[in-house]
Structures are given as structure tokens and as C-alpha cells.
Structure 1
Amino acid sequence: MKGFISTPSNKTNFREIINSRNLIYELIRRDFIVRYKQTGLGIIWAIINPGINIILYIFVFGLLVKIPTPEYNAPYAYVLISGILFWGLFSNSMMVSSDALINNMHLITKVYFPRLSLCIASVFVALIDFFIAFIVFIPLSVICLTEFIFLRFFFLIPCILITFMLGCGVGCVMAVLKLKYRDIRHMLPLFNQILFFSSPVVYTLSIVPDNYKIYYLVNPLTGIIELSRWAILGAGGVNIQALVCGLISAVVIMLAGIYYFISNDGVIADYE
């Protein structure tokens, strides 16, 4: 652990986070190994989990409900994949980072280090899971689609960055709230479910009534998912207004989340 520990202060500063990059790397490595250690399928679970969700949603919403996707010249399964992958990145980032403090209290109470490192490491582990699923499902979609345009693929980069910032920001807030208020651990899954169905994950923005579209435009996930579908499927369109709102919201949420976390950094150990 040499080189990881910094001097205690009232608030974590940016320099401490930079100096703790080796610690963050070790935390990422530890969390990733622990997640799949002693499991028969190992990292394949990173593919199985979103895969099962995709199959279930295809059956329910594609075959039973028959949700229309008129703006995409592609089977519903491919429309769903792009939504599920980016939703999974956000949801997984938020959930694992919200547990970062509770799961590491044995370290927090023994030695000082920038506690924000725990949340950052957790989000990066979720990002690794995303890329594992991404390199399996996206090439499969590309092979089966006829209107794929390679240059559009680069537009997935801002989708990943914005989703990363959202997950990090919300996760930082939830990590502190889980320590302060134990009820949050029961409320968070409910919040996650509400956000899932209020985002165009299993459906597209085109079927949302005009009276409700304003609420979707302020949802930062709307622009991300719509852009990812445009980039992958080569059809549909990019809602610039939703994308700009998503970017601004992501930056604000991340900065606000980190600020809230840092402002409570000095008392985190007291909630053991």
C-alpha cells in the first residue's frame, strides 16, 4: 500500500485523487477479481446478465406487447440492445458505487485515504463490465444489420463518457446517503426501477405522447440512448436538444455529487 495513503485533511482535493491513482488501480483490480472469483463462469457473467435481460425484454415487449419502433429499420432486438447496454452501464455504476463506502468501512476506519477513490474505482469496474458486454453484443448487431455506418460508431464515445459521469455523480450521493440513512438501501432499487421505465430503454421516444416528451428531454439518459441507437443502427435521428440537456445534466450531477461526497468526507468514518 506504499504511496497510496495521503495526509488527512478536512476535505479531499483534486491533487489527492491524482496522487491516489495507484490506489484506484488496485481497488479496481481487487473489486473486479472478487466479483468473479470462485464462480464457474467467471467474467462470462458480464455477458450473461445483460443477455438474459435482453431475452426477457424481447419476449415481453417485443413479442407480447409488440412495442413499435417505426423510426428504425431493424428488428426490435437490436433496438433494445443499445438501450439495455447503456442503461446497464448507468445502473451498474450507480448501484456499485453506492455500496463503495459500506463495503469498505473496514479500510475507512483504519487508515486515511481519499474516500472518493472507492467510488471512482467502483464506477470503473462497472465500465469494464460494460465493455465486456459491448464487444460481444455490438459486433453481433453490426454483422446482422445492413445499414451500419462505421464512422457513426465514434459517436458512442460521448455516450459512454456522459453515462460514466451520470453514474459517478449519482453514485457518490447515494454512497453518502446510504451511510446516513439506512432506508436509502431499500429506496434505491425502487428509484432505479422508476428511472428505467421513465427512460426510452425498452421503447423509443417516437411512441411517447407529445405532452410528455418535455419530461423525457430533461432526462439525461434519453439523449444518450437515442444517440447510441442512431450510431449503431444507422437509422433514426439525433435529438440535439435531449443530447445537450444530457451533457449539461451529467456534468452538473457529477460535480454536485463529488462536491456532496467531499463535503461529507471528514465524517464518513463516524457512520460506522
Structure 2
Amino acid sequence: MANHLRLVYQLTKREVVGRYKGSMLGIFWSFVNPLLMLFVYTMFFSVILKIKWGLNDESKSDFAILLFVGLVMYGFIAECINRAPGLIIGNVNYVKKVVFPLAILPVVSCGSALFHWAISMLVLILALIFFGNGVPVTALLIVPVMVPLVLYGLGLGWILAAMGVFVRDISQVVGVFSQVLMFMSPVFFPASKIPAAYQGVFRANPLTGIIEQARAVLVFGKQPDWNSLMLQVLVALVVCAVGYGWFSMSKRGFADVL
């Protein structure tokens, strides 16, 4: 176990550093990218379309911060699932090595996504300090709120990584699905603004509750809904277990296909 943890750490570090290798700003891009993303979406939705969140005395900075929380939470799961289909076919040399634990590749991908999520959280904290009402004490509770999202990322990562070996088109399908997921989640609007006829569809999306919980603890200074959070964790554990089981069963055929 200890050897696997060290391997995950080393591969995650290599993954993060390698992504920006050769660029002028290097790893600083992980800080710049969320800022640019925040600026573009805020300009489009708040300035051009003039969409309001519905808060009293709402400013553009309030909208930007609430929007950014949704983008950060969505961005984590999107990175996990978008990269998953190519993890095995992009590391064929590992498949031939009997001693290499292939199951850690989705864990490494999830770890890389978690690193970028942490950088985005730093950007959010700075925004709350300089443009918001400060960082509430409840912001520390973002850690338990993230638990089900990480488990979903791992479970879906294992499922899609295995499927990507046998069905090469899955990467295209996942790319479209992740875009649809963004608009089927309360990223650009509060869940309260979803029409009643569609509430059931949006609530069936686990990301809806997680994003709302994240905004509650990070921006509004509220406790998360612990009952809802525990239910999310239980469901995410099932997804994670099913994903790992599917991957373990499927990996026996990887060498034959690759």
C-alpha cells in the first residue's frame, strides 16, 4: 500500500509538471487559467446577458464568486471523466508490465484534477477576501463536501478507462456528455431558479447538490445539509466500488486488445 501511495504521488507530480513543461509561465498557468475562465464567463453572463443571481444588493463580484464556485466543482469532475477514456490506451507500455498496478492511473488523473481544484480554491479565497465579504469559518467544510465528488471521479474514472480500451469512440461521447453536464448542473444559476417541471431532472444529477452545498459553506457561511451529504457519500461509494470492480474484471483483456 505504501509503495502504491508513493507511486501515485510521483506520477501525479509528473503529470502536473509535465502538463506545463516547455511553456513560458510553467505551472503558473494552473493559477492563470481559472482567472481567465472566471473573467470570460462573468463578462458573458453578468455583463452581456445581464443575468442576476437574485441576491439583495447583488454586485458583479457577487455573481462572479458564485459562478466560480460552480465552475470549480464542475471542472474537477469534468477533468476526471474527460481524461479517463485515454488513460490506458495512452500508457500501453504499462499494460505489458505485469507488476504495474494499472488501477492507479485513474487515481493519478483524479489527483491531478484535485491539484488544479486546490489552486482554483486559492483563487476563490483571494476573491472572497478582496471582492466578497471575507472567508467564512464554514469554508473548511468544503473538505467533506468534496468527498463524494472525489469518489464519483474515481468510480467513473475506472469505468471509463476500461471502456476506452474496448470502445475507442467513448472519448467522443464523454466529451459531449461533459458539456451537457455543465448546463444540466447549477453552474451558471442557483438551483432555486430551475423551473418546477425540471427540478426532478436536475436533482437527479448528483452534481446539483454538491455545487449547492459548496456555495453554502464557501460563500454563504452555512452548514452543509449533513443528511443529504451522507446520502451522496453512500451513493458515491457504490459508484466507486462498481467502477473498481469493473476495471479489475476488464483489465484481463487489455493486453489482447492493445
What RMSD, in angstroms, separates the aligned Cα atoms of the two structures? 2.2
> Is 1:116–2:103 an aligned residue pair?
yes
Match of 1:24 in 2: 8
> Any idea what SS the aligned residue of 1:145 has?
coil
Match of 1:48 in 2: 32
**Structure 1 position 147, deviation (Å):** 6.3
Match of 1:79 in 2: 66
Match of 1:95 in 2: 82
Deviates more, 1:157-166 or 1:139-148: 139-148
Q: Which residue identity lines up with residue 260 of structure 1 in the other structure? A: W
Q: Which residue identity lines up with residue 113 of structure 1 in the other structure? A: F
Instruction: Rate the CA distance shift 1:107–1:242 in 2: closer, same or farther, 3 A.
Output: same
Unaligned runs of 5+ in 1: 1-16
Instruction: Rate the CA distance shift 1:133–1:171 in 2: closer, same or farther, 3 A.
Output: same
Instruction: Rate the CA distance shift 1:19–1:238 in 2: closer, same or farther, 3 A.
Output: closer
Task: Tell me the matched-pair count.
Answer: 255
Distance 1:22 1:79 in 2: 36
Alignment partner for residue 57 of structure 1, among 41, 45, 49? 41
**Structure 1 position 57, deviation (Å):** 1.4
TM-score, normalised via structure 2 length? 0.89
Match of 2:166 in 1: 180
Q: Which residue identity lines up with residue 6 of structure 2 in the other structure? A: N
Instruction: Rate the CA distance shift 1:228–1:142 in 2: closer, same or farther, 3 A.
Output: farther
Deviates more, 1:94-103 or 1:28-37: 94-103
> Is 1:135–2:114 an aligned residue pair?
no
Q: Which residue identity lines up with residue 258 of structure 1 in the other structure? A: Y
Instruction: Rate the CA distance shift 1:118–1:97 in 2: closer, same or farther, 3 A.
Output: same
Q: Which residue identity lines up with residue 252 of structure 2 in the other structure? A: G
Q: Which residue identity lines up with residue 63 of structure 2 in the other structure? A: Y
Match of 1:206 in 2: 192
**Structure 1 position 236, deviation (Å):** 7.7
Distance 2:199 2:226 in 1: 14
Instruction: Rate the CA distance shift 1:24–1:235 in 2: closer, same or farther, 3 A.
Output: closer
Alignment partner for residue 133 of structure 2, among 146, 160, 164? 146
Q: % of aligned pairs identical?
A: 27
Unaligned runs of 5+ in 2: none
TM-score, normalised via structure 1 length? 0.85
Distance 2:143 2:172 in 1: 33
Instruction: Rate the CA distance shift 1:105–1:181 in 2: closer, same or farther, 3 A.
Output: same
**Structure 1 position 129, deviation (Å):** 1.4
Instruction: Rate the CA distance shift 1:197–1:239 in 2: closer, same or farther, 3 A.
Output: farther
Instruction: Rate the CA distance shift 1:165–1:189 in 2: closer, same or farther, 3 A.
Output: same
> Is 1:34–2:9 an aligned residue pair?
no
Deviates more, 1:70-79 or 1:218-227: 70-79
Instruction: Rate the CA distance shift 1:123–1:147 in 2: closer, same or farther, 3 A.
Output: closer
Distance 1:93 1:258 in 2: 15
Q: Which residue identity lines up with residue 84 of structure 1 in the other structure? A: L
Distance 1:76 1:203 in 2: 9
